[in-house]
Structure 1
Amino acid sequence: MITGSLVALATPMQDDGELDWERLQKLVDFHIQEGSDGIVAVGTTGESATLTVQEHCEVIRRVVEQVNGRIPVIAGTGGNSTQEAVLLTAEAKTLGADACLLVTPYYNKPTQEGLYLHFKTIADAVAIPQILYNVPGRTAVDMLPETVARLAGHQNIVGIKEATGILERGTQIRELCGDEFAIYSGDDATGMELMLQGANGVISVTNNLAPRKMHEMCVAALNGDRATAETINAKLDELHQKLFVEANPIPVKWALAKMGLMGEGIRLPLTPLSEGYRPILHEALKQAELI
């Protein structure tokens, strides 16, 4: 089971939106050096929605190659087309990813039965560990714990990234799915508390900026050391909040550029962080002792 602080990696881009392969390579090494427990490549924070299929697969290939087995690589391979998700998941397996992260289909708003059949179809088709991803604030569909429990019995479905921010969801999923099913927080603001309640880690946006602190916080939380976890998390709490003043990954890419970890490139329809929010995020970076 993959545990700890897993970075939802932002994808470096040039000012014109072209992918920045040199920065990607350096970013991977930065995360390994700073203690990230795993890398999620081309998830929604990685702007998967605006990458071509060829670019998507190339990012996975290069991340796997650069990591070279040092930490786990989880490839984002979800989509609102079941067959496309099958193809991406199969390609990620071929490219050497350790696991795949599959977001619930967005925009088309499937029923709970549709969600079950979507994920079952992918899991039946590709023998690689698969992590479900529930983020109704972005997809307009909420996969209920009962549906997760139906899928948890599949040998290739090993966990869920739960990003509702509702702590009770973690408890419900654990009760229904058992201890062998991994639960990852997809909400930085409540991630510490979810781990203290028994979750296995966090797939984190904040980790892009503060991998060492996030790793140390997760170690403490997973060991049940609330006092230490709260002390570390207190410095990050403002960042957890302010990284969502505009749609992710707009704020985190601005902050990464501010820290010199990548350029300011981002793809339309996303645009650079609005001027009015920059002082707010700058202050959050200072509080987290990152600048």
Structure 2
Amino acid sequence: MGFLPKGIYPAMLTPLTKDQDINETALKQLTNHLIDANVHGLFALGTNGEFHLFNKEDKLKVAEIIIQETAGRVPVMVGSGGNSTEEVIELSKEMERLGADALSIITPFFIPPTQEEAAAHYKTIAASVSLPVLLYHIPSKTGFHLEAETVAELAKVDNIVGIKDSSGKFENIQQYIEHTKNEDFAVLAGTDSLILKTLQAGGTGAVAATANMLPEIVVSIYQYWLDGETEKAKAAQRELQPLRDTFGLATIPAALKKAVELYRVPVGPPKAPAGELMGDALREVEKMVAYYQSK
């Protein structure tokens, strides 16, 4: 498989109107804003894209808007994961038909499968589409840990091209890199504080939520690393921390949506049941946004 995800893929937010409908205008604006910042690809319908709250019709609408607006300028990777193998195959085929460049498929959640079941799930899905597939590992949200040995087995599948690790544990990333080093396989940081460490360890890039607001800074981490400017890369990595510190103030992605809204793109509220930021949390985010605006 020729496609190997490299560089910075923003974990795109899904803009909504006050009435909770998909905001097509803001979604196009966000797409162009990110591409203009020289990101290497787009990643839609992940955790920060609130994939778990949208029905199939909405997911296809979001993907179609992004794919059409991008018009081939960068690769578009879309989340088509779910709990049942059948459901994932159905959505994946639809995404392929819409023109997605790659699929991100989260591990099953709610009832954690065995390692063998997870491997069979991924192999069956990969065989049903011709698109490249990225494994998506976020154990804090799924209750399931994909073992490095399982990833090594899946890395041998022709169109399973990489993994996004959002465990927050660097040793996981290291293990995935170590176990797949003989394959053409990408290991991407899904935790924005680990972008530089992942690159230094042999990873290929990151799927970064902070890039919704600060794409230029996130892209610069990768660029400085490529150019061998380690100190500058470290400084750029540190520069993301004030934004990251606000993520825990509310239900994901309420704080990030408010930050992006105040800073640049009117992405609107999170999808219910998550509510808009208020009170002290809102003041914290406003203060953080003012910090970046002053720089």
Q: Same fold (TM over 0.5)?
A: yes
8 Å Cα contact 2:106-2:136 kept in structure 1: yes
Cα offset, 1:256, TM superposition:
1.5
Mapped pair 1:167 → 2:170: yes
Measure the CA separation in 2 of the matches of 1:253 and 1:142: 28
Measure the CA separation in 1 of the matches of 2:52 and 2:8: 24
Residue in structure 2 matched with residue 88 of structure 1 by the alignment? 91
Residue in structure 2 matched with residue 8 of structure 1 by the alignment? 11
1:262 is paired with a residue whose SS is coil
Mapped pair 1:261 → 2:265: yes
Measure the CA separation in 1 of the matches of 2:275 and 2:39: 28
Mapped pair 1:237 → 2:235: no
8 Å Cα contact 2:187-2:204 kept in structure 1: yes
8 Å Cα contact 2:213-2:264 kept in structure 1: no
Residue in structure 2 matched with residue 153 of structure 1 by the alignment? 156
Residue in structure 2 matched with residue 187 of structure 1 by the alignment? 191
Measure the CA separation in 2 of the matches of 1:160 and 1:230: 24
Cα offset, 1:71, TM superposition:
0.7
Measure the CA separation in 2 of the matches of 1:289 and 1:150: 46
Measure the CA separation in 2 of the matches of 1:121 and 1:174: 24
8 Å Cα contact 2:196-2:225 kept in structure 1: yes
TM superposition score normalised by structure 1: 0.95
Cα offset, 1:210, TM superposition:
0.4
Residue in structure 2 matched with residue 248 of structure 1 by the alignment? 252
TM superposition outliers: structure 1 runs of 4+ over 6 Å: none
Q: Which moved more, 1:256-265 or 1:134-143?
A: 256-265
Mapped pair 1:275 → 2:279: yes
Which amino acid counterpart does residue 148 of structure 1 have in structure 2? V
Residue in structure 2 matched with residue 205 of structure 1 by the alignment? 209
Residue in structure 2 matched with residue 62 of structure 1 by the alignment? 65
TM superposition score normalised by structure 2: 0.94
Q: Return 5+ residue gaps in structure 2 as ranges.
A: none
Could you tell me which of 43, 48, 73 is aligned with 2:51? 48
Measure the CA separation in 1 of the matches of 2:87 and 2:190: 23
8 Å Cα contact 1:246-1:273 kept in structure 2: yes
Which amino acid counterpart does residue 135 of structure 2 have in structure 1? L
Could you tell me which of 98, 103, 118 is aligned with 1:100? 103
Measure the CA separation in 2 of the matches of 1:213 and 1:71: 18
Measure the CA separation in 1 of the matches of 2:227 and 2:83: 37
Residue in structure 2 matched with residue 218 of structure 1 by the alignment? 222
Cα offset, 1:252, TM superposition:
0.9
8 Å Cα contact 1:89-1:100 kept in structure 2: yes
Measure the CA separation in 2 of the matches of 1:191 and 1:80: 28
Mapped pair 1:139 → 2:146: no
8 Å Cα contact 1:210-1:290 kept in structure 2: no
Measure the CA separation in 1 of the matches of 2:208 and 2:9: 6
Measure the CA separation in 2 of the matches of 1:190 and 1:225: 17
Sequence identity, in percent? 29
For these two proteins, the number of residue pairs brought into alignment is: 291
1:170 is paired with a residue whose SS is helix
**RMSD (CA atoms):** 1.6
